[in-house]
Structure 1
Amino acid sequence: MLNNKLINLITNKTDAGKRIDQFISQNSELSRQRISTLITDGHILLNDEVVILKKIKLTGDNEQIKITLPEPIEEILEPENIPLNVIYEDDHILVIDKQSDLVVHPGAGNSTGTLVNAILHHCGSSLSGIGGQKRPGIVHRLDKNTSGLMIVAKNDLAHNNLSKQFMDHGKNGDLERIYDALVWGIPKMSSGKIETKITRNDRDKTKMMVAKNTKNGKLAITTYRVVEKVYNHKNEPLISQIRCKLYTGRTHQIRVHLEYIGHPVICDQKYGKGYNTKLMLLSSEYREQLKIDRYALHSSKLSFRHPISHELMKFESRLPDDLNLLKNVLSGI
């Protein structure tokens, strides 16, 4: 039973042999990482004795487990008044339409000016804490130059539930993530499934690649559908708008997969091998208009179950102005 800062649990015979961290995870909304931290900090008691090791096994003999949740620690990160396009908000979650050129989480070289800094300012005291800190729960990330829909948790309860939904990738639930991409060329197949292993690039650790050896890497599955085709004045294939659905969540997955099938995302300098060559074939007038500082990828649809009410939530975001301009300019060639 959850009563603000205290959780009381009682074991029974069916719990005999279970590790205490496993039992707590199954009977509360606390994540394994959060439980591990609480044990390390001495906040979990088993029959009124402090639990030291998370691998302690239970007897199932009506053991009393008491978990004290300390007040969230103030996040060191500074709130910043960065404009946010908030699509939906309640006491538990926040859905935003992220602009491009915005890093999601602070890291090396990005301690300020991030989405997290912006959310800290926007939410203020409504953040009850994630993992013992007053910070937003980033359930999934978009690359700096990818725009579109994102969901953020405001508390541990929402964060744990949403994390499980995203880890499942919609296999057993209603999670759905769809992206729109403008790519060079037009795929021969109007729809298809890309299933590969993705691993880190041996030559460039900032890049991912389709694994040459199927024993390496992690499974990545993307389906796609061509929603618009653009030809030049000679009726030659030029670009297309492709709608991609993710069934896994690998780093740079869509960008890697679209490069793999020979249709890289326009303006993607990391994975768009043919970008510079194709751009140089255009007239100087068109090249000038195409100088955008991000690649043409947008998170356009997001569906999930609300972590508290379990209501099915569906959100859509239209292609942003800069990508529509890009498409229109290329359509006029």
Structure 2
Amino acid sequence: MSELDVFTVEQSLPGQRLDRFLHSRYETSSRAEIQRLLSQGCVRVNGRPPKPAQAPRAGDLVEIRWPDVTAAEVAPQEIPLDVLFEDSDLLVLNKQPDLVVHPAAGHEDGTLVNALLHHCRGQLSGIGGVARPGIVHRLDRDTSGCLVVAKNDLSHRALQEAFATRRVEKVYQCLVCGDLQPTSGEIRARIARHPVQRKKMAVTTGDGRDARTTYRVLEQLAGAAFVEAQIHTGRTHQVRVHFLHLGFPLVGDVVYGARANARLTQETGWRAPRQMLHARRLAFRHPHSGRWCEFNAPLPSDFKEALSVFRGAEAVPAN
């Protein structure tokens, strides 16, 4: 049976399209999927089919009838998983680096989804469709750390809503190039698709999406800083783009910080195997019990090695 979501728009958003607004609320659904729902008449605003380009207004009653889900059909594969927690509703993993979350062009198998299908043996939410069963949120291929997976549709919807309404605590640890100053602060900078390189994101003063990151330096190292960052929004590449905006790209991030990393390699004689970004902590209310849950993922070996390299010179704890 199809599922109905109903909510009221809290504030008017002039200049923002309805399809983009819905995509920001349901980030695990692609914009193309949202547009498909609109074109198929699955969305109503104040009881009427809306236009994708209309702007949401305060008080609008939005109804979304999600079509029946399909069973996951991607092939199960026996890939080792580091499970931090598991019950009948969800699974929390410490995702290893160099693991793509779901199948896509160029990565048809060997993904986290393939591993989950083997591990869960049919107990995964089908809301994400055949390619993304159970997937509530994503981490980049080369980002390690905490990731939650839904094992049934009710948990999937509840977790998806928690992410959309910013009731999930997401804390990362990373290494950035240089002596990060100030040693703590807040970054508020809108993020949008890069105007030329469409696979990249960029800070913009124009039509971007609000993004907020708070951070503190845990340790100033020789040529790099060990930083803890909490993201209060969930934009694509948010940590990477925000620290680039400050002028301190992530160690190992050749997409956003190729020049800075080339200099760092010359100075240290060491090259990072990936961007040094780790989802350290994830906290949220359990979708079934309502209990507040907090999960911590230990740093992987390559991140520890990077810390050792930069601690080769005298490290300075942050004040």
TM-score, length basis structure 2: 0.77
The alpha-carbon distance between structure 1 residues 120 and 57, as it changes in their structure 2 partners (threshold 3 A), is: same
What corresponds to 1:275 in structure 2? 261
In the TM superposition, residue 127 of structure 1 has moved relative to its aligned partner by 2.7
Identify the match of residue 327 of structure 1 among 299, 302, 307.
Answer: 307
Deviation, structure 1 residue 57: 4.3
1:242 and 1:177 mapped to 2: Cα distance? Answer: 14
Q: Does the CA-based 8 Å contact 2:102-2:132 persist in structure 1?
A: no
1:252 to 220, 237, 240: 237
Match of 1:263 in 2: 248
Quote the residue 1:152 is aligned against. Answer: 149
Taking the aligned partners of 1:200 and 1:155, their CA distance within structure 2 comes to: 32
Determine if the alignment matches structure 1 residue 224 to structure 2 residue 204. Answer: no
Quote the Cα distance in structure 2 between the aligned partners of 1:245 and 1:328. Answer: 24
**1:15-94 mapped onto 2 (5 Å cutoff):** 24-26=4-6, 55=44, 57=47, 73-94=70-91
- Matches of 1:268 and 1:186 in 2, distance apart? 17
Tell me the SS of whatever aligns to 1:166: helix
Q: How far apart are 1:278 and its partner, in Å?
A: 2.3
The structure-2 alpha-carbon separation of the partners of 1:113 and 1:225, relative to structure 1 and needing over 3 Å to count, comes to same
Q: Which moved more, 1:73-82 or 1:310-319?
A: 73-82
Question: Is contact 2:143–2:278 with CA below 8 Å preserved after alignment?
Answer: yes
C-alpha offsets along residues 120-143 of structure 1, whole Å, 9 cap, x if unaligned? Answer: 110003235336769632111100
RMSD: 2.9
Q: 1:227 to 1:76 in 2, by over 3 A?
A: same
TM-score after normalising by structure 1: 0.73
Question: Which AA in structure 2 matches 1:180?
Answer: Q
2:80 maps to a residue whose letter is P
How big is each residue's C-alpha offset from its partner over 1:134-165, in whole Å with a ceiling of 9 and x where there is no partner?
96321111000000000011111001100011
Does the 8 Å CA contact 1:198/1:210 hold for their aligned counterparts? yes
Pick the aligned partner of 1:138 from 129, 135, 140.
135
Unaligned runs of 5+ in 2: 8-25, 49-64, 314-319
Q: Does residue 95 of structure 1 match 2:88?
A: no
What is the percent sequence identity of the aligned residues? 40
The count of aligned residue pairs is 270
Q: What do the CA deviations read for 1:233-270 (whole angstroms, capped 9, x no partner)?
A: xxxxx211100001111110100111111111101101
The structure-2 alpha-carbon separation of the partners of 1:305 and 1:88, relative to structure 1 and needing over 3 Å to count, comes to same
Give the Cα separation in 1 of the matches to 2:131 and 2:261: 42
CA-to-aligned-CA distance 1:283-327 (integer Å, 9 cap, x gap): xxxx2xx34421100000100001111110001122221111111
Larger gyration radius, structure 1 or structure 2? 1
Q: 1:298 aligns with which of 278, 292, 298?
A: 278
Decide whether the 8 Å contact of 2:184 with 2:215 is kept in 1. Answer: yes
Structure 2 Cα separation of the partners of residues 121 and 113 of structure 1: 11
Is structure 2 residue 203 aligned with structure 1 residue 205? no
User: CA–CA distance in 2 between the matches of 1:129 and 1:242?
Assistant: 36
- The 1:53–1:199 alpha-carbon spacing in structure 2 relative to 1, beyond 3 Å, is closer
Asked if structure 2 preserves the Cα contact closer than 8 Å seen for 1:127 and 1:135, the reply is: no
